[in-house]
Amino acid sequence: MTYDGSEQGGPELIGGRYRLGERLGQGGMGVVRRATDELLGREVAVKTLALDSGADPAGALREARVVAQVRHPHVIVVHDVVEHEGRPALVMELIEGGSLADRLAAGEVFSPAEAARLGLDLLDALTAAHARDVLHRDVKPANVLLEKDSGRAVLTDFGIASLPDATTLSRTGAFIGTPEYTAPERMQGGDAGPASDLWSLGAVLCAAATGTSPFRRDSIGAVLHAIVYEEIRPSARMGPLVPVVRGLLERDPELRLGAAEARRLLAACAAGEDPAALAPVPTLREDALPAVPAPAGADTAAGGRGSGRRRAGALPFVTAAVAVCAAAATVAVLLAMQDEPPAGPPGATGTGSTATSAPATTPTPRTPVSGAGRPLSRQVTDESGFSLLVPYGAIRSTDGERVVYTSPDGAVRVGVRIRPVPPGGAIGVMRTSAEDGPKTNPGYRDGTVEETTHRGLPAARWEFTWDGFTRAEGARHTFDVAWEEDETLYDVWVSAPVSRLEEARTRFGATVESFRATGG
């Protein structure tokens, strides 16, 4: 709803105390006017339903009840509900200053720090709503009011807010919400929860920092396609906001950045720090990999077949990462560039949390470089009990069972899983994984499994190609090796686009050779 300050309304009195004044804005369902509360002598805003909008009058009462449950400085306050022309009208606090949509329409763009402070206000509002089991479902610039003097952001218009189990469609089957800012799971009629509002927050942050939604297109169909399928590339002008926006715009809601981590990253950005140094990563399922920067998904690496089943409603946007074995002759190339010797106990460990990020690895003493002087790879010591070579600058994520390191460009992934040796041992795990390949990896082909040894220990190797979960992801090749040692199964894999096959092969060999158990 746009607050334009135009058009004077009539001086009528409603509810016996509210004198209506100028129109502040109008949306599809109603009109917002300035009014004077003649009983208390204060300025308020009155939202009345448009007679021809088809809006259900009961919806206004419902909105008032919803907002009354969520009392927070960054959520609009509803003072009263009165009757106007036979329909309920909401009497709300008046926020002088207009909406974020007004500011963007006027050509204003927020700095990353300013957008981060805005994001913190909205995140606090959403957190308060979610704590009451309320989903806003229409977070967008028009529903963000900005107080002129204080700069306080206020989330308004809870007209389509719902409980988490409410349907995405109205009773007439019409989609409710604003497509440009609506999460992909809602677009596809899937389960919608708090994560859906967080996606919308990510899109609003993009708009605040760049002037427009990242999903703005010429038609509704194109908007829907962009949200559900197209590669998401946050604009470089967002600077330090990019890590949190990437996390919030993760298509799979189960992988999306959570409120607590988003707050930590936004606070860092608002304080002038670089959130990229915090290596933000959403909590992952067992079969999941981080999606940076494009829509991504998860190869189900060996031994994780059961976890390959996604819950109903979840989108298959998480790319693959399963592992493999490579030529020993190329191993020395990468091993010569590692930061520290692969052997030996860790000098430090991470926090021990379930969902962790790059700081959980031990800092390395020197930076490896390629012939062009650019970082290539580094040896990390992970809190989960191992040390190995990963792409330099890789982002770490874990679901508690698997640890995945993703290269900065999101293309190459190195994964590790450590667990007790299951029945059938390494070869049994790999054969089962290969049998399930067509189910877990679209376009699965050229799969091979062979029994082998690793450092004289029983082992198995699996290699295959597949199509990726999205067109943007493209075809990928994965290498995986698992071996048994002291009643423990170690599984290490590497996944990369087929266009980078030789790089993946080389890195896989180096990674496997560099691996050491540290007992962390």
Is a pLDDT exceeding 70 seen at residue 326?
no
The CATH number of the domain holding residue 228 is: 1.10.510.10
Q: For residue 498, what are its two tokens?
A: 């087929």
For 341, the 3-state DSSP assignment is coil
Same domain, 411 and 499: yes
What CATH number did the domain enclosing 428 receive? 3.40.1000.10
Residue indicated by tokens 């009990």: 385
Which residue among the candidates 37, 124, 138, 287 is catalytic per the annotation? 138
- Stretch among 16-25, 306-315, 433-442 having the lowest mean pLDDT: 306-315
Assess if residue 287 is contained within a domain.
no
What pLDDT does residue 317 have?
31
Domain annotation covers residue 169: yes
Position 266 scores a pLDDT of 95
Mapping DSSP onto H, E and C, the string for 97-121 reads: CCEHHHHHHCCCCCCHHHHHHHHHH
| Segments of 280-394 assigned E as strands | 377-382, 386-391
**What pLDDT does residue 278 have?**
59
pLDDT tens-digit readout, 311-325:
333 333 332 222 223
Range of the domain at 512: 306-517
Q: Which residue has the higher pLDDT, 399 or 10?
A: 399
Region 161-169: mean pLDDT is 48
Tens digits of per-residue pLDDT, 208-263?
Answer: 999 999 898 888 888 888 888 777 777 878 889 988 998 999 988 988 999 999 99
Q: How confident is the model at residue 438 (pLDDT cuts 50, 70, 90)?
A: confident
At 222 the pLDDT is: 80
Average pLDDT, the chain: 75
Whether residues 350 and 451 share a domain: the answer is: yes
* Of 478, 502, 503, 335, nearest in space to 409 by CA: 503
Cα separation, 280 vs 355, in Å, equals: 10
Q: Which of 77, 93, 109 is the last residue of a domain?
A: 93
Active-site annotation holds for 491 = no
More confident: 260 or 306: 260
Contacts of 31 (CB under 8 A, 6+ apart): 23, 25, 47, 48, 50
**What pLDDT digit, counting tens, does each position of 337-362 carry?**
333 333 332 222 222 222 333 333 33
Our CA angle for 250, 410, 208, nearest 5°, is: 45
Work out how many domains the chain is built from and give that number: 3
- Residue 195, CA distances (Å) to 200, 296, 390 in order: 9, 17, 30
> Binning pLDDT at 50, 70 and 90, where does residue 127 land?
very high
Contacts of 157 (CB under 8 A, 6+ apart): 1, 27, 76, 138, 142, 143
Cα-based distances in Å from 279 to 195, 242, 285: 20, 11, 18
Residues 17 and 134 in one domain: no
Q: Are residues 78 and 104 in the same domain?
A: no
Domain boundary among 93, 127, 162: 93
- Within this chain, do residues 177 and 109 fall inside the same structural domain, yes or no? yes
Residues 494 and 434 placed together within one structural domain of the fold: yes
Residues 256 and 344 in one domain: no
Task: Give the CA dihedral 132, 138, 144, 145, nearest 10 degrees.
Answer: -80
- The dihedral through the CA atoms of 390, 392, 394, 400 has a sign that is positive
Mark whether 24 and 117 lie in a shared domain.
Answer: no
What whole-number distance in Å separates Cα of residue 88 and Cα of residue 140? 25
The answer on 387 and 318 residing in a single domain is yes
Out of 93, 108, 123, a domain closes at 93
Does an H or E element contain 502, and which? helix 501-514
Evaluate whether residue 50 is within a structural domain.
yes
| Greater model confidence, 71 or 281 | 71
Q: Both 105 and 144 in a single domain?
A: yes
Higher-confidence position of 276 and 100: 100
Q: Residue 46 maps to which CATH number?
A: 3.30.200.20
The residue ranking higher by pLDDT, 463 or 252, is 463
In a domain, 288, yes or no: no
